[in-house]
Amino acid sequence: MNLDLEPADLAFQEEVRAFLREHLTPELADAGRRVTSVFLDPAFTLPWQRILHRRGWAAPSWPQQYGGPGWSEMQRYIFAAECTRANAPGLAPMGLRMVGPCIMRYGTDEQKKTLLPRLLSGEDYWCQGYSEPGSGSDLASLSTRAVSDGDDYVINGSKIWTTHAHFANRMFGLVRTRFEGKPQTGITFLLLDMKAPGVSVRPIITLAGEHELNAVFFDNVRVPKANRLGEENDGWTVAKYLLEFERGGQFAPGLKVRLQRLREIAREHISPGDGVWQKLAHADVTVDAIEFTEHRVMASLASGGNPGPMSSMLKTQGTEAMQRIEELAVEIAGIHGAVDQPDARGPGSNLTPIAPDDHAEAMARYLNGRAASIYGGSNEIQRGVIARLMLGL
């Protein structure tokens, strides 16, 4: 596979770099560099999204008819890679990358007209209501109930591990509208207002001491049937389509940048004969393999396909490679990796960390990364998908 860029792609790469030099402020870049998880506080992501929206670049994968730039797969990849190298804050994926494509495919004309522009501008900030206390990877067992009542559904139940629900004004969620028959055939996909009466959000503090996750409770919450995406009892179809976008994505650019930074840190703190260097080299080979797989997915998308089960392969390999790299970061940090000073790390802090700046986020990144092989469908589930759909086992 030839990964060299064509002249037109090189010109686009320079256009992106020039834009980043002009518009990515030092404050936003510092926030992007210090992020310890997939999700960054919207105090940093939304200003950057507005800057991108003015240029028409907020949703690289969206078609032009819905406000996207109409880029090729290679242009999207270049854009993601350059933003990562420049430490641009990653935009929240729940809206732009996940529910947005679902609205385009399954939404009514009114839903598309109303919701998609608000997604692009950042007026709506979305969270995902999938997992429940007794339903994680076995999502089809969910029990949050939606009962039909005239033009509304009345919802009772709860969701858990709901990332950024404390910031979100909208949720896309799965509810049970039928209890008999096959579990997957009684699920409906709804778009909810987080400010509706009866919705309550309680924080869940992570191992890293951060408030990113939440439990969400529904007590007789009324949701108009006009907010249903797809048909009643056919939400599983919509959910599977969405999960292809959640599980796929582009891991290699971020992993390459992270490895390069670790090599720079290791040169300052690790002796040449230390076994860390062999581990870094092994990680390099793994990330190169992921990059080739991502390019195969890009080729499929360019010919009109969708990620399909390949997204399960990328999710598995990408998240496990990330975990191994963050283990290396803690090893390189040594005793400084054990420092627990959450108020001094992350963007916007004005406290001086005890650990050297290079190591301040190492342990938080490691701890947050443990969830990567669980969310979006655990990697054990992904291996089952690969076995069935790719290997025919």
Give domain status of residue 190, yes or no: yes
Integer Cα distance of 261 and 353 in angstroms:
19
Do 227 and 272 sit in the same domain of this protein? no
DSSP 348: T
Burial class of 227 by CB neighbour count within 10 A (0 to 12, 13 to 18, 19+): middle
pTM, to two decimals: 0.86
Integer Cα distance of 92 and 41 in angstroms:
9
- CB 155 within 8 Å of CB 188: no
The yes-or-no verdict on residue 345 having pLDDT over 70 is no
Q: For residue range 268-301, list pLDDT tens digits in order.
A: 888 888 899 999 999 999 999 998 888 877 777 6
Provide the domain limits for residue 180: 126-234
Give domain status of residue 371, yes or no: yes
Do 252 and 385 sit in the same domain of this protein? yes
Do 302 and 194 sit in the same domain of this protein? no
Q: What residues does 146 pair with on adjacent strands?
A: 155
Highest mean pLDDT among 31-40, 66-75, 237-246, 346-355: 66-75
| Bridge-based pairing state of the strands 170-176 and 126-129 | parallel
The yes-or-no verdict on residue 134 having pLDDT over 60 is yes
- Is residue 143 helix, strand or coil? coil
Q: For residue 388, give every residue at least 6 positions away whose Cβ sits within 8 Å of its Cβ, in sequence order, or none.
A: none
- CB 390 within 8 Å of CB 176: no
Do 219 and 351 sit in the same domain of this protein? no
Do 262 and 345 sit in the same domain of this protein? yes
Choice among 9-23, 314-328, 341-355 with the minimum mean pLDDT: 341-355
- CB 379 within 8 Å of CB 385: no
Integer Cα distance of 267 and 379 in angstroms:
33
Give domain status of residue 116, yes or no: no
Q: For residue range 207-224, list pLDDT tens digits in order.
A: 888 899 999 999 999 999
Got the DSSP string for 325-369?
Answer: HHHHHHHHHGGGGG---GGGSSTT--SPPSS-GGGTTHHHHHHHH
Highest mean pLDDT among 20-34, 338-352, 375-389: 20-34
The yes-or-no verdict on residue 17 having pLDDT over 70 is yes
Q: Share the mean pLDDT of the chain.
A: 90
pLDDT at 232: 96
Do 224 and 338 sit in the same domain of this protein? no
Give domain status of residue 101, yes or no: no
Of 173, 200, 234, which one is at a domain's C-terminal end?
A: 234
Integer Cα distance of 203 and 71 in angstroms:
38
- Give the catalytic positions in this structure: 246
pLDDT at 100: 95
**Residue 339: both structure tokens together:** 């420092």
Do 131 and 70 sit in the same domain of this protein? no
pLDDT at 298: 75
- CB 316 within 8 Å of CB 277: no
pLDDT at 292: 86
Of 172, 206, 234, which one is at a domain's C-terminal end?
A: 234
**Residue 34: both structure tokens together:** 């210090």
The yes-or-no verdict on residue 306 having pLDDT over 80 is no
pLDDT at 246: 53
The tally of domains found in the chain comes to 3
Of 234, 269, 290, which one is at a domain's C-terminal end?
A: 234
Give domain status of residue 87, yes or no: yes
Do 172 and 265 sit in the same domain of this protein? no
Do 131 and 85 sit in the same domain of this protein? no
Do 61 and 160 sit in the same domain of this protein? no
Choice among 21-25, 191-195, 279-283, 334-338 with the minimum mean pLDDT: 334-338
- Residue 189, domain CATH: 2.40.110.10
pLDDT at 348: 63
- Residue 291, domain CATH: 1.20.140.10
pLDDT at 346: 62
pLDDT at 293: 84
Give domain status of residue 270, yes or no: yes
pLDDT at 171: 98
The yes-or-no verdict on residue 19 having pLDDT over 70 is yes
Percent of the chain with pLDDT over 90: 61
Do 215 and 324 sit in the same domain of this protein? no
Do 27 and 75 sit in the same domain of this protein? yes
Give domain status of residue 285, yes or no: yes
Q: What residues does 132 pair with on adjacent strands?
A: 135
- CB 229 within 8 Å of CB 107: yes
pLDDT at 269: 84
CB atoms within 10 A of CB 149: 11
Give domain status of residue 359, yes or no: yes
Average pLDDT over residues 299-326: 82
The yes-or-no verdict on residue 240 having pLDDT over 60 is yes
Integer Cα distance of 384 and 70 in angstroms:
34
